[in-house]
Amino acid sequence: MKQKKPWLVLLFILSLISLISACSTYETEENRHSSLKGIETIYINHGSTTVHLHSGDTDELQTSFVSNDNGSGVNIDTTKNQLKLSMKSDIRRLLNIGAMPTLNVYIPSGYEGKVVVDGSSGRVNVTDLEVIELDIRGKSGNVSMDLLDIKTNIKISVSSGNVNLNVRNKDADANWLLQSNSGKCSVAFTLDQHSSTRKKTSGQTGKGSFIVDISTSSGNIRID
């Protein structure tokens, strides 16, 4: 009597899980609030989940986790002067790529601390965030930023993801350093003290008060 091949059994189980997930999808939203009293650094580990960062008219950190599977949401841990936000794992999301969850994070305007964002393939979108320092790290996820002005020290380091930064004030007080090993770098406005090589572009706008340091391995960098 022939035995069933292990990979066929595994394929059947994965197909069954996928079918159950597809038949039970409906949008749910999990909202959390956390005090930032005494918090100097906010760590956000979002993995493969798309995260949207905003400044909000609030006294607390607020998160909104939207999913289509009624699955696990967000972990928030506070230790001493640090707040750590991470995603709970759910195997169903690996089988339902077309309905991945999203995370919205609202940080109080003028938060006088550092925000660190670390992910793998999840995209990062930033809109008019007002913090002292922003550090974004990623692998294949793209980073998109839309800012009225530069009033934050910004450091972005990704592997194969693209970085797009739109700043509406073209005379923002920024010192720019853009580096890409094999990707393209483009800046849509004039930089003072401009210097450019095949892999690096640097320069200044305004007084150069804030540092914008963006690096990629193979991703493109675009500043508008």
Q: What is the pLDDT of residue 93?
A: 47
Average of pLDDT values for 108-129? 94
Mean pLDDT taken over the chain: 88
pLDDT reading at 43 higher than 90: yes
88 or 170, which is more confident: 170
The sign of the CA dihedral 69, 32, 48, 52 is: positive
d(CA 52, CA 102): 8
> Is residue 188 classed as helix, strand or coil in its secondary structure?
coil
23 burial (CB, 10 Å; 0-12 / 13-18 / 19+) is exposed
79 or 167, which is more confident: 167
Complete edge-to-edge strand list for the sheet that includes strand 143-147: 28-35, 60-67, 102-108, 50-56, 124-127, 143-147, 163-167, 221-223, 185-187
20-24, 126-130, 197-201: least confident range: 20-24
Q: How many CB atoms lie within 10 A of CB 66?
A: 15
d(CA 74, CA 64): 9
Average of pLDDT values for 80-87? 94
Residues 90-101 pLDDT 10s: 555 455 555 679
The CA-based dihedral angle spanning residues 115, 118, 119, 123, taken in that order and rounded to the nearest 10 degrees: 30
The CA-atom distances, in angstroms, between 36 and each of 55, 71, 99 are 14, 27, 31
d(CA 15, CA 179): 43
92-96, 146-150, 201-205: least confident range: 92-96
Q: What is the pLDDT of residue 88?
A: 80
Q: What is the pLDDT of residue 29?
A: 86
In this structure, what token pair is assigned to residue 110?
């003028």
Residue 143 sits at the vertex; the CA angle it makes with 94 and 69, to the nearest 5 degrees, is 25
**Are the C-beta atoms of residues 121 and 139 closer than 8 Å to each other?**
yes
Q: How many CB atoms lie within 10 A of CB 211?
A: 15
pLDDT reading at 119 higher than 70: yes
Of 58, 65, 70, the residue nearest 34 (C-alpha): 58
Residues 13-34 pLDDT 10s: 656 555 555 554 557 889 999 9
